[in-house]
Structure 1
Amino acid sequence: MNRRRILATGAAVALGGCTSYTSDTDDTPSSEALIRDAIERRGGMTDLEARRLIRVETTEDRAERTEAIAREPPAKQRIEVVESTDPDVPAGSVTVTNRTATWEYDPSTERVEKNYHPNKADTDRTRLVLENLLSESRLGYEGTETVDGREAHVIETRPPVDDAGPKVELVVGDTTYVMPVDVIQDLEELEVTRTVWIDDEYRYPIKERTVHTESGEVRHELTVTYRDLSIDRGLSRDAFTYELPPDATVVTDGRPPEGVFDSRTAAEAALPYELPDPDVPDAYELDRVTVVEREKSVGGTTATLWYDDPDVVARELYVAVREFQRFDPDALEEIEIDGWTAYRSDGKKRSVFWTCDDLSYEASALLQDAPLEEIAASIGCR
């Protein structure tokens, strides 16, 4: 399905900041503390349920939609569009995501797109956006307002003066919006203001608004609001089960797994090799083992052991075992671990690669504090 979510996702513009901003005073709540509270709450959140109202206004058009959403971060979500004036995301559209697949249903075409992603690393986008606001934006406290009958603290944010970015990463909704390029005529005159409402009880973002102003005129405004917000109160057992509509056409993408197992022993019954038993930090538990099989001529079998911290959202690492070498040694940093050669890659995702006994290994994590070299050493190559 075309998930434009009201806005065009083609061309985008750079968003410039303003030159000055007034920060919190001594007698008002700290914007930084409120956002830190929201980050902490997000890190321990088990589930969220709400209705989400999205409104987009430009100088030429206005569109709205209301979605019923349910989430178990970082991977599981269900979005059902119950009302919409956007023809690209009509009422009746449904998106359901779990660890291994995503279903997207477009009622206008009666078509379901099923995308397999059994080895997708899950990030907590909402937490990352909040952390970016805290570290990169200028913040100002604007008092309190009532949002859907709830008291909320209003925080106005502005990007750094030299900041530029083509996207709006939403706090209220794990979604990325791209502003159409034809909305703005003069980039040098563009000013961006983003306002976030933090719910007083939950200490969680309940509303946000991003306004793009050009030469004093509002050119684009995006507002997202949670209604009937419920956090950590439990969801129905079938919240993330997808049932195909009658007569729907199903189109699949990606490679389905041969199996998703809850133990190493169960996975090894489907594999031509034994799995390692790596030493991971005490906070981590084995969540699942995915097995994806390809023809020998293009790679063979890959088994991935996924470990996560059940008490912290999106604190995850994995160890992959492949019958083929996926990494390029010439593009990586060569290191030595216990007398054998491995290769390291740093960036948003950190990885350690090595080969041993005709198998290729990878230990990876999105978190910077994951002890990947120690994990690799516990598997070894002896």
Structure 2
Amino acid sequence: MNRRRILAVGATVALAGCVSYPGRDDPPSSEDLVRDAIETRRRMTNLQARRTMTVETPDETVERTERIARKPPAKQRIEVRESTDPDVPVGAVTVTNRATTWEYNPSTAIVDKQYHPNKVDTDRTRLVLESLLEESRLGYEGSEMIDGREAHVIETKPPTDDIGPAISLVVGETTFVVPLRATGDPDAMDVTRTVWIDDEYRYPIKERNTVSIDGETRHELAVTYTDLAIDVGLEPGTFTYDPPNDATVVTDGRKPLGVFESRAAAADVAPYDLPEPAIPASYTLDRVTVVEKAERFGTTTTLWYNDPNVVARELYVAVREVQRFSPDVLEEIEFDGHTAYRRDGRIQSVFWTCDELNYEVSSLTDDAPLLEIASSIGCP
């Protein structure tokens, strides 16, 4: 689907949990409100809402309203109900699950089916909230009623040295890029993000991002959730999609040989024996993907594990026929007499080779015992 960046797909608005402070005389601090929102997000199971997104510039105002359903961090369904954006018309649908994304544009009758069975899913909304807490200047601006609910208003500003000629605003599950090349002197630019945090549930229900030059607003993006339903369960099949009969389906990415619910089922397809790693008790097996890549890259099997009680707390074990890591740029380590290589950064990893197979254990969190897991696999 051809999309203008001015209206991004996601927004850092959601609702979950339930934390109430009746009889409180003093409002909570902005920092405590954001901390509460982070914790609520970590425990969220699913949400449904009606979302309205409005973008205003000196030349135009564009708005659309969608019905959304989400199961963080990976699954979502967005159906456009009203829209003045010709590139995202009424009837447009986006459905994403762990392995596939479907995007339907009714104006072209084209469905773009994207395969991504081994995509690592971060919880971008939580990362945005953590960034606000750690890097932005927060100011409490009182409270307002949003969709009949009291919400605390927090104005945030980025550190001064973060202001540049182009600014990426992370809005929910995607990135909103503000085009600033023609807006004048970057030093005169003022960027603010205002977040409304629901008093009862302690989670954002509205957000507004504003870019001003010399006091004049050049871009403003506002997102509001109404009709919220949180952790009440979703209809079966919410994250599957059947294209219309008259639509043309165009595919991107490599279709997997299979996405399996058990290691035993994947073992019937994989061209080599699969390991049986010792995983911490808080994790459960989510799926096993088997992907046959180009001949020179062979077949990759990935066992995905997550913590069902914490959003985006997951790790995976990958087995490859061809080495995909570069020892020259990694830290050499050793476990149980095996030479291995460690990668630090957004993804923590341990790589090693055994006979003709290559192994990887990776996690998005620092608390995963990667070396212990690698040791349980060893050289099978």
- TM score, norm. by length of structure 2: 0.92
Q: How many percent of aligned residue pairs carry the same amino acid?
A: 68
Which aligned pairs between 1:169-248 and structure 2 lie closer than 5 A?
169-170=170-171, 173-182=172-181, 184-248=183-247
SS in 1 for 2:45: coil
Matched, 1:34 2:33: yes
Judged with a 3 Å threshold, the aligned counterparts in structure 2 of structure 1 residues 234 and 7 are, in CA distance, closer, same or farther, namely closer
C-alpha contact (below 8 Å) 1:6/1:56 kept by paired residues: yes
Counterpart amino acid of residue 345 in structure 1: R
Aligned to 1:264: 263
Instruction: Read off the aligned partner of 1:29 and give its amino acid letter.
Output: P
Between the aligned partners of 1:270 and 1:346, the Cα distance in structure 2 is 32
- Residue 307 of structure 2 aligns to which amino acid in structure 1? D
- 1:326 equivalent among 324, 327, 330: 324
Structure 1 counterpart of 2:168: 167
> How many equivalent residue pairs?
363
In the TM superposition, residue 381 of structure 1 has moved relative to its aligned partner by: 2.4
Is contact 1:7–1:178 with CA below 8 Å preserved after alignment? no
Deviations 1:280-327 (A, max 9, x none): 2221111111111135x3222111000100100110100000111111
Contact 2:341 2:350 (C-alpha < 8 Å) held by counterparts = yes
CA contact (8 A) 1:105 1:111 kept: yes
In the alignment, which residue of structure 2 is the partner of 1:3? 3
Query: 1:241 is paired with a residue of what secondary structure?
Result: coil
Distance 1:325 1:164 in 2: 40
Instruction: Work out whether residues 143 and 150 of structure 2, in 8 Å CA contact, stay in contact via their aligned partners in 1.
Output: yes
Which one-letter code corresponds to 1:328 in the other structure? S
Partners of 1:182 and 1:53 in 2: CA distance? 28
C-alpha displacement of 1:272: 2.1
Corresponding residue number in structure 2 for 1:150: 149
Give 1:27 shift.
4.4
The answer on whether the counterparts of 1:142 and 1:156 sit within 8 Å (CA) in structure 2 is: yes
What stretches of structure 1 of length at least 5 have no aligned partner?
10-25
Tell me the equivalent position of 2:275.
276
Q: 2:163 touches 2:186 (CA, 8 Å); kept in 1?
A: no
Is 1:60 matched with 2:59? Answer: yes
| CA distance in 2 between partners of 1:44 and 1:183 (Å) | 42
What's the Cα RMSD here?
1.7
Return the letter of the residue paired with 2:365: L
The CA deviation at 1:330 is: 1.5
| SS of aligned partner of 1:162 | helix
Q: What amino acid does structure 2 have at the position aligned with 1:113?
A: D
After superposition, give the CA deviation of every residue in 1:35-71 in whole Å (9 maximum; x if it has no partner).
Answer: 1111111111111000110001111111100011000
Deviates most, 281-290 or 303-312: 281-290
Q: Counterpart of 2:296?
A: 298
Per-residue CA deviations over 1:9-40 (Å, capped at 9, x if unaligned) read 9xxxxxxxxxxxxxxxx943211111111111
C-alpha separation in 2, matches of 1:77 and 1:379: 34
SS at match of 1:105: strand
Q: Secondary structure at the match of 2:373?
A: helix
- Asked if the contact 2:263–2:288 (Cα under 8 Å) also holds between the matched residues in 1, the reply is yes
Distance 2:104 2:42 in 1: 30
SS at match of 2:31: helix
Q: Secondary structure, in 3 states, of the residue corresponding to 1:181?
A: coil
**SS state at 1:312 partner:** coil
Structure 2 unaligned segments of length 5 or more: list them.
10-24
Q: Distance in 1 between matches of 2:7 and 2:79?
A: 18
**1:30-179 counterparts in 2 under 5 A?**
30-164=29-163, 166-170=167-171, 173-179=172-178
Give the letter for the 1:3 counterpart: R
String of CA shifts for 1:198-249, please: whole Å, max 9, x gaps. 0112211100001111111111111000011111111101211211012111
- Return the offset for 1:351: 1.1
SS in 1 for 2:121: coil
- CA distance in structure 1 between the partners assigned to 2:67 and 2:290 by the alignment: 33
Distance 2:70 2:296 in 1: 36
